[in-house]
Structure 1
Amino acid sequence: MLTRRHIRVKVMQSIYAFTQSQNTDLGKEEKFLSSSMENMYNLYLTLLSLLVEIQKMADEQLTLSQKKYLATKEEKNPKRKFVDNPVLLKLVNDAILAEKLENRGISWELDEEYVKIIYKAILESEIYAEYLAKDTTDFKDDKKVIIDLFQKVIAPNEKLYEYIEDKKLTWVDDLPLVNTLLLKMIKKLKGDAAENYFHPSLFKDDDDKLFASLLFKKTILNDERIQQEIEGKTPNWDTDRIADLDAILLKMAICEFLKFPSIPVKVTINEYLEIAKEYSTPKSSIFINGILDKLVKEYQANNSLNKSGRGLM
C-alpha cells in the first residue's frame, strides 16, 4: 500500500513535527510516525466503508419507495442496477472489511448526513443517469461507473473533505494517495477476485517498514554531521535562511547517500525532488537539486559513497 515515496513523506512530516516542537523524546515521535502511517490505512478503510454505506442507502431507498401507498409504476419496479452493482456488492459482502471496521471502530453511523449528501450528489449526476439508462451492462461497465462516480462526484465533494479534515487532520495530506490507491484497486478488480482483494498490507514487506524507522532515526541522530555537509554548499544562502522543509528534505537525502548503501543515488535525488515539488516552495526542487548534485560529485571524487548491491545502479 505505502510506496517508498509515501514513507519518505511520512518521515518528513514526523521530523518536521519533532524539530518544531523541540521534542527530545525520539521514541515518542517514532511512535507518532508509526501511528500516522497506520491512520492512513484507517482512511482507506473509511472510504471503502463509505461505498458500502452508499449502496445500503440506495437499497433502503428503493425498498421504501416500493412500500409507498401510492407508489408509481417505476417505484414499484425500480431499476436495481446501481444497488446490484457487483463492485459495490463485493464490498458489502466483504467479511474481512466488516471485521476490520468493527475492530477499528470505523463507522458512519453518527455521520450519516455526509453519506446522504454524497448519495444525493450521485443521484443528481449524469454518470448515474446514463448508467441506469443502459439496458444491459457488463463487468467493465459496472467498474467504470464506480470509478467515474468516485473520481468526479465522491472524491471532489467538499463535504467529504470537510468530514475528513474534522475527523483527523493528518488525513488531509493522506487523501490524494488513498484516493489513488482505491481507484487503482477498483480498476484492477476482476469478477473472480479473491476474498482479501481489497486488503493489501500497509507495507510491501518488512524492509519497507524498517526503512521508515531507520530513515527517521538516522536523519535525526546524524543531524549535526549532515548539517556540516550542507554548510558551504549554499553560497547564496545562509543556512538559517533555508526553508525548514527544504532543510529536512536535504538532510533526509544526504542521510540516504551516507547511511543506506542499497538505495541508488539517482533514486534518492529523484524522490526528494518530487516531494519538494509537491510539498515545498516552487523553487525548492531546483535549490535542492543543486546542492545534492554538488554533494554527489564531491562524494564520488573522494570515494565516500558507500553503495552496494542495488545502490550501485
Structure 2
Amino acid sequence: MINRELIRIKVVQLTYAYYQNGNCNVENAEKELLFSLDKAYDLYHSLLDLIVAVTRVARQRVDVARARHERGEGAKPSERFTLNKFALQLEENATLNEWRGRQKFTWDDDVTAVRSVLDSIEASEAYTEYMAAEEEPDYAADRELWRKLYKTFVVDNEEIDKVLEERSLYWNDDKYIVDTFVIKTIKRFNEKSGADQELLPEFKDMADRDFAVKLFRTSILNSEQYQHYMTQTTKNWDFSRLAYMDVVIMQIAIAEMLSFPAIPVSVSINEYVNLAKIYSTPKSWRYVNGMLDSIARYLNETGKMLKPLPER
C-alpha cells in the first residue's frame, strides 16, 4: 500500500525533523521513519473501518425507526442501505477485524463524526436514488455505491480530518494519499472472497521498505557532500533565497539520483519539485526545479552519475 510518493514525503518530513532536533541519533530517526510508515498503514485500516462504522450507525437508526413503526409511529424503514453487500463483507473482513482488536481507539469513540458522515450520505442524491430503486441491488452496484460515497463524503471531509489529526500527528499529510488506496481497495473487493478478502499489504515488496531506509540514511550520512554539489551549481541561482526546507528537499533528491540507478532523473526531479510546492514557499519550487536540473547535469558531466538527463 505504501508507495514511493508517500515514502518520499515521510523521508522529507523526518529528515527536516532530524535537523530541527539537533541531529539526533540516526538509528533512532530511522526507527521513527519506519514507525511513521506503520502509522500510515493504520490510517488505511481506520478509513476502511469508517465504512463499517457508518453502516452500524445506520443500522441503529433503522432499529429505532422500526420500533417506532411497531408502535404505530411512522412508516416501516428500509434496510437496503444497512444490508449493502459490500459493507457487510467489509464488516466481516478477517484482517480488518484483527486490526480493530488491537486498537486502543475506534470510531465508537468519535461517533459524532460518524453520524455527520451518515447525515450527509442520507441527504445525498446518490443515497435517495439507491434507496428508491425498484430492483434488488447486486454486489457490483452495492460496491460502486460505496466507492462514490467515499469519494464524496470522506475524501476532503474536514471533520474527519480533524478527528484523524487528533488521533495521530503522523496522519496530517497522509490522508490524501491513503484515500486513493482505500478507493482502490473498494474496487478490488470480490464477493466470492467473503471474509477472507485480502486487503493491500503494507509494502508491495521489501524493495519499497529498503528504498525508504536507504534514501533516508544516504541523504543524512552524505549531507555535506550533497550540499557541496549544491554550492558548485548555484552560480545562476541566489542560494540565500532558498528556504531551509528547499535545501533538505534537494539533498534528498540528490541522494535518490545517485543511489537508485533504476529511477530516471526526470522522475526524481519532478517528485521533489512537487514536494517543494507542498512544503515550502510559493516560489521555491521554481528554484528547486532549476537547481536540481543544474545539479543533475553537473553530476553527469563529472562522472558521478551515469543516467540520461531530462531534455531542456
**Aligned residue in 2 for 1:74:** 75
- Relative to the length of structure 1, the TM-score reads 0.90
Report 1:35-184 matches (<5 A): 35-68=35-68, 69-72=70-73, 74-75=75-76, 78-136=77-135, 137-184=137-184
Give how far 1:193 is off. Answer: 4.1
- Name the aligned partner's letter for residue 50 of structure 2: L
Question: Tell me, which stretches of 5 or more residues in structure 1 are unaligned?
Answer: 309-313
Deviations 1:258-301 (A, max 9, x none): 23333332222222223223333333332122112222222222
Q: Are 1:46 and 1:106, in contact at CA under 8 Å, matched by a contact in 2?
A: no
Report 1:199-210 matches (<5 A): 199-210=199-210
- Relative to the length of structure 2, the TM-score reads 0.90
Higher mean C-alpha deviation, range 37-46 or range 120-129: 120-129
**Aligned residue in 2 for 1:14:** 14
Q: Are 2:242 and 2:284, in contact at CA under 8 Å, matched by a contact in 1?
A: no
- Name the aligned partner's letter for residue 278 of structure 1: I
Distance in 1, Cα, partners of 2:280 & 2:210:
26
Higher mean C-alpha deviation, range 254-263 or range 6-15: 254-263
Does 1:191 pair with 2:195? Answer: no
Distance in 2, Cα, partners of 1:183 & 1:45:
12
**Aligned residue in 2 for 1:226:** 226
Deviations 1:234-265 (A, max 9, x none): 23555454212211111111112223333332
- Name the aligned partner's letter for residue 181 of structure 2: L
Higher mean C-alpha deviation, range 213-222 or range 144-153: 144-153
Distance in 1, Cα, partners of 2:302 & 2:116:
62
Q: Are 1:273 and 1:289, in contact at CA under 8 Å, matched by a contact in 2?
A: yes
**Aligned residue in 2 for 1:300:** 300
Give how far 1:104 is off. Answer: 3.3
Distance in 1, Cα, partners of 2:141 & 2:26:
51
Distance in 1, Cα, partners of 2:194 & 2:168:
31
Deviations 1:164-204 (A, max 9, x none): 12111221201101111111221333333464545211111
Cα 1:194–1:239 shift into 2, 3 Å: farther
Tell me how many residue pairs correspond in the alignment. 306
Q: Are 1:55 and 1:88, in contact at CA under 8 Å, matched by a contact in 2?
A: yes
Distance in 1, Cα, partners of 2:56 & 2:220:
48
Distance in 2, Cα, partners of 1:302 & 1:218:
20
Give how far 1:43 is off. Answer: 1.0
Give how far 1:13 is off. Answer: 0.4
Higher mean C-alpha deviation, range 158-167 or range 39-48: 158-167
CA RMSD across the alignment:
2.2
Q: Are 1:11 and 1:33, in contact at CA under 8 Å, matched by a contact in 2?
A: yes
Distance in 2, Cα, partners of 1:129 & 1:74:
16
**Aligned residue in 1 for 2:285:** 285
- Name the aligned partner's letter for residue 180 of structure 1: T
- Name the aligned partner's letter for residue 40 of structure 1: A
Distance in 2, Cα, partners of 1:267 & 1:28:
29
Higher mean C-alpha deviation, range 20-29 or range 35-44: 20-29
Distance in 1, Cα, partners of 2:245 & 2:102:
36
Q: Are 1:263 and 1:307, in contact at CA under 8 Å, matched by a contact in 2?
A: no
Distance in 2, Cα, partners of 1:271 & 1:303:
23
Q: Are 2:16 and 2:248, in contact at CA under 8 Å, matched by a contact in 1?
A: yes
Distance in 2, Cα, partners of 1:238 & 1:24:
30
Identity within the alignment, % = 34
Distance in 1, Cα, partners of 2:40 & 2:165:
13
